[in-house]
Amino acid sequence: MKSLAKCTPREFLKQTNKIRKSVEKWLTATDIMNIRKTLPELEKIDDDADEETTRKIARRNAAKRREQSRKNLSRILDAIMDEHPDETLDLLAMVCFVEPEDVDNHPVDEYLAAISEMLDNEAVMSFFTSLAKWGQMNILK
């Protein structure tokens, strides 16, 4: 299966521009950016706290951050796989050069293999990192 990791430079540019246009809609629909912003309520460390108290509070805060990260990831997965599977599959199809209406014409193992290839490809990962940054700066439109 063709993917962004196995295409010509011309195909990469054309396809990533299509993806760029769809990602903004997907991010809005799934609310991923706002989910990521959900932070735990952390304990404040008083200026006069001793070193031991400071360490204990720092450990508790770190645990709260980890727990919130797990909750956020769960909410993101619910959003992309349960609440908005069609939009997510449309994007998956695009990164594999499959028309969204043909997404079900390929077995899931082909998509998983393509995803693995893309995760191992530095240029592709750089593109997706840029998309996330652009999304935060609201320049995907």
Query: Cα 45 to chain center, whole Å?
Result: 32
Domain boundaries, the chain: 9-137
C-alpha atoms less than 13 angstroms from C-alpha of 17 in its C-beta half-sphere: 5
Distance from C-alpha of 111 to C-alpha of 103, rounded to nearest angstrom: 10
pLDDT digits (tens, 9 = 90+) for 99-115: 989 999 999 999 999 99
Query: What is the band of 116 on the pLDDT scale with cuts at 50, 70, 90?
Result: very high
Query: What is the band of 135 on the pLDDT scale with cuts at 50, 70, 90?
Result: low
Which residues, in sequence order, are CB contacts of 115 under 8 Å at separation 6+? Answer: 3, 92, 95
Query: What is the band of 124 on the pLDDT scale with cuts at 50, 70, 90?
Result: confident
pLDDT digits (tens, 9 = 90+) for 51-83: 999 999 999 999 999 999 999 999 999 999 999
